Amino acid sequence: MKIVVIQGPNLNMLGIREKSIYGPMKLEDIHSQMRTFAEQNKLEIEFFQSNLEGEIVDRIQECLGDADGIIINPAAYTHTSIAIRDALSAVQIPAIEVHLSNIHQREEFRHKSMTAPVCAGQIVGMGPFGYHLAMIGMVQILSEINAMKQAKKAKIQTQETGSNNS
């Protein structure tokens, strides 16, 4: 299973910008922890960060046929980007939206997420641990999808076997 982690604008500044809101941990440290979890769970993981909306849209589209799940922090684009929302919807890959801060406790304009309605779930306000929770959630989602595929395959095989015996 392959998970692509997509980070939006200004997340490359973690550990420097607004530590009282985002904490002291750098993006590389968060990714290192996620990489460790992925290795322990035999997952392939890839990281991407951009400050540019179009590059984020391109990376989401590149996940089609290449990734099983997306963990995304669209950052400021969460509240404004119909393009990112449409890309997530188009690829139909399970996605989990993550925010370090609780967007619902912040400025009014941050309360609405354009992207959350097309994601399997949203994790907010848990700091860097939110990414760990997203990894656990994604493993569960992908396991359920694989179990449903296996059950469907077994049902088809049973039906074919039954019709061959007739």
Active-site annotation, residues: 22, 99
The total number of residues written for the chain in this structure: 166
For 54, the enclosing helix (H) or strand (E) is helix 53-62
| CB-based contact 74:97 (threshold 8 Å) | yes
